[in-house]
Homo-oligomer: A and B are copies of this chain.
Amino acid sequence: MTQAASQAPLEAPSKERLRLWLQLLKTTRAIESQLRENLRREFNTTLPRFDVMAALSRFDDGLKMSEISGALRVSNGNVTGIVDRLAEDGLLVRVSVPGDRRAHRVRMTQKGREEFARQAAAHEAWISEFLGQFDAAEARAIAAEFNIEESADAS
């Protein structure tokens, strides 16, 4: 906590929570902006492309297009275009679903897995730097406090 923050008299809870909210918005937007810049500079890729790869990386059997959309943290609607470009780059492939000629699944290639492993390691290191003011225990504790659903389940 800063000296300034600890010395100023506390305002009503609703005012302090409103300031926390505005600070959270500022922080998440600054980090996202820096992530976009780093992904572009280091990997010539974008945050939506990274997010699609991250979703696919968790499923060895691949995902349907609708499942990719559902797994994305930004639903920008253009999953088809992103998947097309990643396929052109050889990072993923579309595979047909046995017994359903109209359905396809999307799966990472070996090249895609290797490329995403590099991107994910860099992404984790960047985030660790951006949030470097929190040690492991603090990061865990604050994440748990924001996780209302889990807190409710555990109480």
Q: Give A residues with C-beta under 8 Å from B.
A: 1-6, 10-21, 23-29, 31, 73, 123-125, 127-128, 130-148, 150-151, 153-155
* Protomer copies: 2
A3 — nearest CB in chain B belongs to which residue? Answer: B154
* A6 CB, min distance to chain B CBs, angstroms: 8
Question: Are B28 and A143 interface neighbours, CB within 8 A?
Answer: no
The answer to whether A18 and B127 touch (CB under 8 A), given A23-B143, A143-B5, is yes
Question: Are A17 and B134 interface neighbours, CB within 8 A?
Answer: yes
The answer to whether A135 and B23 touch (CB under 8 A), given A128-B18, A147-B2, is no
Question: Are B21 and A140 interface neighbours, CB within 8 A?
Answer: no
Among B20, B31, B136, B138, which residue has its beta carbon within 8 angstroms of that of A143?
B20
Question: Are A146 and B13 interface neighbours, CB within 8 A?
Answer: no
Bound complex: CA of A15 vs CA of B18, how far in Å? 28
* A–B pairs, 28, beta carbons within 8 Å: A1-B141, A3-B154, A5-B140, A5-B143, A5-B144, A5-B147, A5-B150, A10-B140, A12-B136, A13-B136, A16-B136, A16-B140, A16-B143, A17-B127, A17-B131, A17-B136, A18-B123, A19-B143, A20-B134, A20-B139, A21-B130, A23-B147, A24-B28, A24-B146, A25-B28, A27-B146, A27-B147, A142-B145
